[in-house]
Every structure is written in C-alpha cells, then in structure tokens.
A and B are shown apart, each in its own frame.
Chain A
Amino acid sequence: MPYGPHTVEDREKMLAAIGIGSVDELFADIPPELRASPLDLPGPEPELELATRLLDLAARNRTDLASFLGAGAYRHWSPPAVDQLLLRGEWYTAYTPYQPEVSQGTLQSIYEYGSLIAELVGLDVVSASHYDGAAATAEAALMCCRSTRRERVLVSHAVHPHYRQTLRTYLGDLELEEIPLVAEGEAAGTTDLAVLERLLADGDRPVAGVLAGQPTFYGLLEPMAEIGQLAHAAGALFVAVVEPVSLAVLEPPGAYGADIACGEGQPLGIPLQYGGPYLGLLASTDALVRQIPGRLVGLTTDLDGKRAFVMTLRAREQDIRRDKAASNICTNQALLALAASIYIATIGPHGLRDVAANGAARAAELEAALTAAGAPRLHPGPYLNEFAIRVPDASAVHRRLLGRGVLGGLVLAEHEPDDPAVRDALLVCATEVTTTAEIALFADALRHVLAEAVA
C-alpha cells in the first residue's frame, strides 16, 4: 500500500468534522510551556554540500582509539552472516503482528530467540525482549513485587548504576534499597552478605526480590548461590542481572537458584551504537510465567497436525488487561533479538565459549601489563574480562591517555561521585578482539602518563 500523507484539504475536513478551527486547538489542554516549540533547523542544502558537512561532523568521532571501555556494552567480533541475514527485507515487518498466527515467520523467529536464551540462562520462559538491560531489570523487580505481593526490593550497589537509576524511575512508590558492598579484604567490591541478611531480617518490611549482578558492574564475580539462598530463606525472589556472553563459561542463573535472569543482550552480535538500540533479556522460571511481561511465543500443532507457532498468554498484555497488565510497555526489540539469535546460532556453543574464554585470557594479559605499568587492580576477587584499576587522579589520566590514542575505560568516580571506594579508579575491559599490541600501547601510554603526573 502506498504511503499517502494527509493533504491540507484532508486536515480541514477532519477539523470541520470535529468542530475545531486548527490542529493547535487539539493540544489546548497541554500548558504552552510544555508544548514542543518550533525546531531551530537550518534550511535545505544541496546533497553534495550536505554530505561533506555530515562527513566533517562524523570525523569528529575518534575511531582510531585502542578501546578498553566496557561498562555494560562490549566490543565483539560478529560473523558477517549476522549483518548479511539481517538485511533481508522479510524481517522489516511489524514486530507486533495483530493477527499473529498468520505471521508464522515472525513468531518462529521470536520462538527461536526464546529457546536460545532459555538454554543460555538455564530458565524455562523467555520474553520476546525489552528495550535494554536496564528496562528488563526494572521489569524483573516489578515481577518480584507482583508475585510476592510485597513492596520492597533490594538491589546490590554493584549492579550497573544506570540500571539502578532506571529501577528508581520504574519502582516509583515501591521501596528500593541498595545493598552496600564489602569495603575491605578478599571480598572487597562484592555484595555485603552480612548486611543483606540484616536487611532481609526486618519482618515488618518483607522483601519481594533481591537483585545482584554476575559479573558485577566492577567486573567481579558474586557468590550468587549464597545470595539466592538468603533471598529465598526470607521468602523473596532472586534476580540475576547477567551479561550473556559470560554465561558460556559461568554457571547459568537457573543452576544457582535464580528465579529471574535479566540483562543487556548487546554483546550477542549487536554493534556498539551510541547506547542503543539494544536488547533487554528477561527470563524466568515456569512458576512466574504469568508475571513475565511482554510477548511469549509457544509451539503447538494446528488442526491438521502441523507444527505451528502461537502467541501464548496474550490475555495478560496491555491491549486486553489495560491497567492490570503485567507491564505498561509491551513493545519488543524484534530485529535485535533476531540479530542475537543469528549470532548465537552462527557462532555456536563452542564459539561462544571461545569468545568468553578469550576475553578472560586477554583481560588477564591486560591486568599483568597494567600492574607492571603501575596501576594494580582495585579489588582482589575473581573477575572474568573486566576489572577496576587504581589510578591517582583518574579523570586527568583518562584524558591524557586519549591524547596517546587510548580509551582507558571508564572513570568510575564520574558514575559514583559520592563513593570514596572508587575515587581513584578506572574500569577497564578486554574481549576477544583486544590485541596484544593494543594492550602494549595502553600499558606504555599509562606508564608515561603516570610518570608525567609524578614529575
């Protein structure tokens, strides 16, 4: 069907039909200061001149840097088949089929995605995806509240600060408390289990869910089974906030007793792209199937006994359940979920293990090089492929590293300005695409920058 915009006559006819004189009158209830003001845009330009200007603007991006930045979004090699298959026109279709069973292909792609993620996290049910890891984490917290009919959620301070911010926004009037981290010793930087136990013991304010990251924002590994046991002993649910590639080598959430797993799906074949669009992963046990928001696709047989994909538990969604729906957001990232499916299927279980293991090996190499350059790790505990290093005056060091062609990770104090534990620290990461030459460049640049600071 061709796209036909409304003509002036169309608009006048519609305005006359509802008895108003202008489109602006439709928005009369919105205070003027909240209405969109005209955009201050330059006029049209010839295509060639415009292309030159855009290229100039794009050239301001530094793409020459050796990057050690992770902090929730990760560089990975993606088989060219992923992008090539995504270009197929058949995928560019409504991600929400309103007569879904006619769209067997769309349903099958969601079903395959759910099956792959279920295997990765070791849980029974996977939603058709959410906006990003932070949104999926917030939905997980709300699932805990609905399921337990409790209103208090505990989140480890070591969960990504953006996710905690999103939790605060989503949870509104529900109670959200942070579990502090161990300050010193072998467990420094991980969730403080003694404090968690105390928070859970408050019988007057029962806890709906406990959220912890694996690996944490600081790259550390948490004692997930113990956190889960403490949560369950208090009648709370346990949510694992995970990074999917790590699950190829770490224990899956289902194996250590998590009721819900959530996280950012970007590392699964989705390029780094200015913070999004990304992919929110959300999975749960069968017991919580009626609490998980978003679309669920199931497999059945039709009247003729042929394999058929169906939307299941539709009735819990917003278009039917209105204000009682499991979530007020029932969209999903269908194309990116498909990218993740193609990535996992193409690279395979062995390939994914190689990606995770190589990242860990490169990170160990990075740790040795940076320690030798004068920046030892901040925390002593085990990590996978990301860790914090101790660097005096981290912001200035980070800036000077840029001058030497190195993106030296993340200045933690910029994300946690009130936390003295991370005042002099950079969060750095390595993946399978990090090279020995890049590591040498980083270590060399750091040695120089630290020497300059002393001089």
Chain B
Amino acid sequence: MVPTDLHYTKDHEWVRVDGDRATIGITAYAAEQLGDIVFVELPDVGRTLEQFAAFGVVESVKAVSDLYAPIAGAVAETNGALASKPELVNSDPYGEGWMLRLEVGDATQLEELLEPTAYDDLVAAG
C-alpha cells in the first residue's frame, strides 16, 4: 500500500499538497526499480513548470530517468540534502527523499492524477 494522503502520476511521482505548497518526490516502487540512486538533478528555484513537464533527472547505477511535475507551479524550494545524500530517495522516498516544493498554481490539476488505490493497481499490473 502506498501512503493514502498523496496523489500519484503514471510516471511514479507523488505530490503532497499542503495549503499553497506542493511537495513532490518519486514513489518507493520507482526508487526500487531504479536501484541505488547516485544523482538527482533538480531545477533552479523560481523556475515555472507546466503540469507534466520534465523538471529534472534521477540517475541510478543502471538507469537515468526524467522527472515530471505532477502539477504546474513555480519552484519554491528543492531538497539540497540530495546533492550529498541521493540515497535518501531509496531509504525514505516519501519523507527525507522529497525532491521539490512548488507554489501551487491550479489545485484542480490534482484531479488529473491517480488516487492511491489507482496507483496501487498500476504498480500491481506491472
């Protein structure tokens, strides 16, 4: 079971909305599939992202994947701890392994995302 207080994308990102801030990361399933994560490339603060636009890159020992913004917004903060400890994405994907915080532009975009049960089904279907 994935955390029930989050919204998910088909590309395995999660988003937690708290007031006008949205925190974004990748799911435990994604982190496990990638393997040991060695590098996370994140955008500059202030950059405006469209919904589902690529915002960065996550690199493991065996793969490199783009990261997509679940909703639109301006980048308010990025997780600086990942620069020296990218393995936090593996060890705590929904907590210390968060990637960026956005100023929420349009909260109705959350409706286009997957609910926890739907994401569970997606992962179960492989």
Task: Give A283-310 interface residues, CB cut-off 8 Å to B.
Answer: 290
Question: Which residues of chain B come closer than 8 Å to A315, judged between CB atoms?
Answer: 59-64
Residue B41 lies at the interface, judged by CB distance under 8 Å to chain A: yes
Contact B63 A324 (CB under 8 A): no
With A and B bound together, what is the CA distance between A320 and B64 in angstroms? 8
With A and B bound together, what is the CA distance between A324 and B59 in angstroms? 12
Question: Which residues of chain B come closer than 8 Å to A324, judged between CB atoms?
Answer: 64, 66
With A and B bound together, what is the CA distance between A402 and B61 in angstroms? 58
Interface size class of B (residues with CB under 8 A): under 10
Question: Which residues of chain A come closer than 8 Å to B60, judged between CB atoms?
Answer: 315
| Nearest-CB residue, chain A, relative to B41 | A290
Question: Which residues of chain A come closer than 8 Å to B59, judged between CB atoms?
Answer: 290, 315-316
Per-residue A-contact encoding for B50-90, CB less than 8 Å = 1, 0 else? 00000000011111101000000000000000000000000
Residue A11 lies at the interface, judged by CB distance under 8 Å to chain B: no
With A and B bound together, what is the CA distance between A321 and B57 in angstroms? 11
Question: Which residues of chain B come closer than 8 Å to A290, judged between CB atoms?
Answer: 39, 41, 59
| Nearest-CB residue, chain B, relative to A317 | B64
User: Which of A290, A315, A320, A324 counts the most B-chain CB atoms under 10 A from its CB?
Assistant: A315
Give the distance to chain A from B82, nearest Cβ to Cβ, in Å: 14
With A and B bound together, what is the CA distance between A125 and B15 in angstroms? 37
With A and B bound together, what is the CA distance between A315 and B66 in angstroms? 13
Question: Which residues of chain A come closer than 8 Å to B66, judged between CB atoms?
Answer: 324
Give the distance to chain B from A311, nearest Cβ to Cβ, in Å: 11
| Nearest-CB residue, chain A, relative to B39 | A290
Question: Which residues of chain B come closer than 8 Å to A316, judged between CB atoms?
Answer: 59, 64
Question: Which residues of chain B come closer than 8 Å to A320, judged between CB atoms?
Answer: 62-64
With A and B bound together, what is the CA distance between A354 and B86 in angstroms? 48
Give the distance to chain A from B28, nearest Cβ to Cβ, in Å: 21
Give the distance to chain A from B50, nearest Cβ to Cβ, in Å: 14
Question: Which residues of chain A come closer than 8 Å to B62, judged between CB atoms?
Answer: 315, 320
With A and B bound together, what is the CA distance between A321 and B65 in angstroms? 8
With A and B bound together, what is the CA distance between A315 and B41 in angstroms? 14
Give the distance to chain A from B117, nearest Cβ to Cβ, in Å: 32
Give the distance to chain B from A298, nearest Cβ to Cβ, in Å: 13
Per-residue B-contact encoding for A307-346, CB less than 8 Å = 1, 0 else? 0000000011000110010000000000000000000000
Give the distance to chain A from B39, nearest Cβ to Cβ, in Å: 7
With A and B bound together, what is the CA distance between A288 and B60 in angstroms? 18
Per-residue A-contact encoding for B23-63, CB less than 8 Å = 1, 0 else? 00000000000000001010000000000000000011111
| Nearest-CB residue, chain A, relative to B38 | A315
Question: Which residues of chain A come closer than 8 Å to B61, judged between CB atoms?
Answer: 315
With A and B bound together, what is the CA distance between A122 and B59 in angstroms? 28
Give the distance to chain B from A328, nearest Cβ to Cβ, in Å: 15
Give the distance to chain A from B60, nearest Cβ to Cβ, in Å: 7
Give the distance to chain A from B42, nearest Cβ to Cβ, in Å: 13
With A and B bound together, what is the CA distance between A316 and B66 in angstroms? 12
The 8 A-B residue pairs with the shortest CB-CB distance in the complex, in nearest-first order: A315-B64, A321-B64, A315-B59, A315-B63, A316-B64, A320-B63, A315-B62, A320-B64
17 A-B pairs (CB sep. < 8 Å): A290-B39, A290-B41, A290-B59, A315-B59, A315-B60, A315-B61, A315-B62, A315-B63, A315-B64, A316-B59, A316-B64, A320-B62, A320-B63, A320-B64, A321-B64, A324-B64, A324-B66
* 9 additional A-B residue pairs with CB within 8 Å, beyond A315-B64, A316-B59, A324-B64: A290-B39, A290-B41, A290-B59, A315-B59, A315-B60, A315-B61, A316-B64, A320-B62, A324-B66
Question: Which positions in A face B, CB cutoff 8 Å?
Answer: 290, 315-316, 320-321, 324
